[in-house]
Structure formats: C-alpha cells, structure tokens
Structure 1
Amino acid sequence: MAGRRTDTRERIQQVALELFAERGYDKTSLQEVAERLEITRPALYYHFRTKEDILASVVDRLCDSIDELVAWAKEQPQTAASRQEILRRISGLLEDQWRPLFKFAQVNQGVMQGNPAGQRMRSGMLGMLSVLSVPGASAVKQFEARLAVFAVILGSVPFLFEMDLDEAERADVALEVATKLVGDD
C-alpha cells in the first residue's frame, strides 16, 4: 500500500508542476490538479492540503538530491575525471527529476522568490554551483566551474537556443560544453 501512496504523491507533484508551468502557480487551483489526475479533491487532500504543500514537497525532493550530490562530490578527488562525473550526474538528475521544477521556477519566479521553498532551492543551487570549484583556484577557474553547472542546466531550456536539436541532443551538447569549461587538470 505504501508504494501506491508514493506513486500517487509523485503523480500529483508531476501534474501540479506541469499545470503551474502552463497556467502559472497563482492561476492553478487544486481542483484543476485533481481534474487533470482524474481523482477527487478529497483524494488529493489526502496527500496534500495546499498548493504550497505540493511545491514544498517537490522542492524538498530536489534539494535532498542536490544535498546528496554535493556530499558525494565533496568526497571525490579533485581531478578532471571527477569533475566530469559530477557534471554527468547533474545532467542525469536534470533529465530524471529536476527539469519540471526548473521549468516551473522559470515561469513562476515571483512565487519562488517569496516562498521558503524557493529560498531552500536557491541555497541548494548555490551549494551545487560551488561543488566544482577547486579551493585556491584562480577566479577565472572558479567562474568556469560555476558556468559549467549553468551550461548543463541551460541546455534543458529550449527557448534559449534556437538550434535544430531535440532535447537529448541539446543536453549532450550542453554537457560537452560544460566538460570543456572544467577542463583538464
């Protein structure tokens, strides 16, 4: 039974983020989320009482995965191979679970700025941005390390690049550019 509850929560989170990105957070009601899922409002309320609860749960999941990635990355040796693996893992998490939240955050920047979940996401992102920086490296190298993370993230934003590439190709190109930014030892 716990598996079904988790699946339903994840479906609610996914559908809510899609609607928040399509219609805007403020213009989306829990009723619309329930209708899109083809469940009743009481069934939705069993899992989440408010839109804020849905958003907080999604951000918590994102931040937990960022925290895990940062902790793992800090244990790795300071090598080009390690930095490349960190970038691959960021790209993989973006493909797997982060993309809908980043899309939501782009469309709903005002909501994220004034929300505790947005502050937690910002803190997590700052931690992730610094994970590729080598202590004592030049300002240029530290900037390149942060740009590498942004390159991977921005590769998932189709409207920024008028290129005839599908989503997977764009992600591959972004990862290649990011890898060049962190360079060799």
Structure 2
Amino acid sequence: MARGNTRQRIQDVALDLFADQGYEKTSLREIAERLEVTKAALYYHFKTKEDIVISLFQDLSRPIDDLIAWAEEQPRTLETKREILRRYHEALMGAAPLFRFMQENQATVRELSIGDHFKARVITLTRLIQEPDLDMVDRMRCISALFTMHASMFFMQNVEGDPEEKREAVLEVAIGLVTEAHEGR
C-alpha cells in the first residue's frame, strides 16, 4: 500500500476512535490493532497521537489556506464573497469528521493549540467577506455567515431531512447574510 494511503487510513481510524472513545482514552496500540498493523508500522508514520491530530488539522488547513490565497487575489465584489462562502462550505463538508472530533475533544484541541491556527484562518476569512466600512450590524451579519456554517457542522446532524437539502440550506442562509450586509450599503 502506498505511503499516502496508509497515512490516510491511520488518520481515518484514529479520528473514528478519538471521536468514539475520546482522545485521552485512545492508545496508539488500539489504533494499530484496528488497522491490523504493528505499533512499529504505525510509528513509521506517526510517533504520537498528537502527531496524528496535528496532521489532521494541517490537512484541513491546506484547502482553507488555498482558498485564502485565491480570495486575496480576487476583486472585492459581492460575487467573490459568495464564492468564498461556497468554497469554504465545501472545505468544511470535507472535514466533517474532524469537527466531530473537535466537539468531542475540546480540551485536547485547546491543549494542542490547533484551535488557535484554525481561529486565525476564520478571522482572515471574516476579513475577506466584509468591507472595513460596514456598520456593526452588517459586520455581524458577515461574521454570522461563517458561524452559521460552523454551527451546522454540529447541529444539522440533529435536524430531520435530506443531507443535500440541509447543506444547501446552510449555504443559502450564509450567502443571504453576506448579501444583505453588502446590498444594504
């Protein structure tokens, strides 16, 4: 099996175990057993549980960093801001298991300082979807657009309905907030 595939399998299994049992209660031995590999084989890729979690956040950050780089090169139009939200929503959907981990293991996220890295990206995205001269209510609308997406990662799983319809609804609400903030100017 290729190294990249093994690394991904380790991350997936570890994330499942961390979410189900908690980070603290999961051992490298359990991860290796679930993968049906030796601890030595696991060590080849990751020396500690912390290394696994950090790698997961780095993988999540890559598409967000790419989005930020793209957004900073675009004209500051309403359509660009809508596209930022669409692309960010896609990145979040791809990271749904990581959000489950974050919800279930908040103390670990704080201890590893990975939350600070994520927070910095969210602040940058907030800056990119609003204009500096917006009044406080409209700035709050822009901030709320991102947090609508974040909250949906946790709460929409408890809402009855078609998953695709729920994803579209979240994106529509977020885009509506940014549109209202910019069209009311």
TM-score normalized with structure 2 length:
0.89
Question: Does the Cα contact within 8 Å between 1:63 and 1:121 map onto a contact in 2?
Answer: yes
Give 1:163 deviation, angstroms.
Answer: 2.6
Q: Identify the range of structure 1 (50-59 vs 166-175) with the bigger mean alpha-carbon deviation.
A: 166-175
- What is the root-mean-square deviation of aligned Cα atoms in Å? 1.8
Distance 1:24 1:125 in 2: 25
Distance 2:76 2:53 in 1: 35
Question: What secondary structure does 1:49 align onto?
Answer: coil
Distance 2:61 2:12 in 1: 16
Question: Does the Cα contact within 8 Å between 1:66 and 1:125 map onto a contact in 2?
Answer: no
Give 1:60 deviation, angstroms.
Answer: 1.5
- Residue in structure 2 matching 1:146, options 118, 133, 143: 143
| Residue 16 of structure 2 corresponds to residue 8 of structure 1 | no
Give 1:126 deviation, angstroms.
Answer: 2.5
Q: Which residue of 2 aligns with 1:110?
A: 107
Q: Which residue of 1 aligns with 2:172?
A: 176
- Residue in structure 2 matching 1:65, options 63, 67, 86: 63
Alpha-carbon spacing, 1:162–1:48, altered in 2? closer, same or farther (3 Å):
closer
- Residue in structure 2 matching 1:167, options 163, 170, 175: 163
Q: How does 1:89-108 map to 2 (within 5 A)?
A: 89-96=87-94, 98-108=95-105
Q: Which residue of 1 aligns with 2:74?
A: 76
| Residue 161 of structure 2 corresponds to residue 157 of structure 1 | no
Distance 2:150 2:163 in 1: 12
TM-score normalized with structure 1 length:
0.89
Distance 2:130 2:171 in 1: 17
Question: What secondary structure does 2:24 align onto?
Answer: coil
Q: Which residue of 1 aligns with 2:50?
A: 52
Q: Which residue of 1 aligns with 2:119?
A: 122
- Residue in structure 2 matching 1:134, options 112, 121, 131: 131
Give 1:162 deviation, angstroms.
Answer: 4.5
Distance 1:162 1:12 in 2: 28
What is the percentage of aligned positions where both structures have the same residue? 41
Give 1:76 deviation, angstroms.
Answer: 1.7
Paired residues, what number?
181
- The answer for unaligned runs of 5 or more in structure 1 is none
Distance 2:78 2:128 in 1: 13
- Listed one character per residue, the Cα deviations across residues 20-71 of structure 1 (whole Å, up to 9, x for unaligned) are 1111110111111112222221111110010000011111122232222112
